Amino acid sequence: MPDVKAKAASIADSLIELSEHTEIVKHVPGVIQLKINPYGIILALNLNMKLKLNTDDLKTTGKNIGILDVKANKASRILTIVYDKEKIPTELWELLIKGKASPKIRKLVREELFRRLQNG
């Protein structure tokens, strides 16, 4: 089983990569729904699998890296992520999706996501 830092890096990288293919559908603190364009559906399904494994670990170990639940709807191309808003602030999600075009913002978001995720 990978350690927390490896999981955090993998999830942060996947979120950054997926952000290029998403738009926010709905976002309230603790829950974000993302519409995935056709090019991002495989990335979303892979991320869904990684996050599901993480939430399974949470249930068995009590280790919380900030993602509490995830659901992918392949037909509607909607990814719903339930997250701990104390660990990953709402603003960071907004910046992740809206700042996707800027390499500088992507780098800052990745570093902040990694920092927050690894401190589970």
Instruction: Strands of the chain (E only): list them.
Output: 22-28, 31-36, 67-73, 78-83
Domain count for the chain: 1
pLDDT at 93: 87
Record the pTM: 0.80
Q: Residue written as tokens 């709402």?
A: 90
- Alpha carbon distance 22, 61 (integer Å): 31
- Residues 73-97: pLDDT tens digits? 889 999 899 988 888 888 888 888 8
Q: What is the pLDDT, as a whole number, of residue 1? A: 45
- Between residues 29 and 13, the one the model is more confident about: 29
pLDDT tens digits, one per residue of 26-71: 999 999 999 999 888 888 888 877 777 665 665 555 566 677 888 8
Q: Which residues, listed in sequence order, are joined to residue 79 by a DSSP beta bridge?
A: 34, 72
- What residue numbers bound the domain in which 109 lies? 4-118
Return the CATH number at 89.
3.30.1360
List all residues 6 or more positions away from 43 whose beta carbon is below 8 Å from its beta carbon.
14, 17, 18, 21, 36
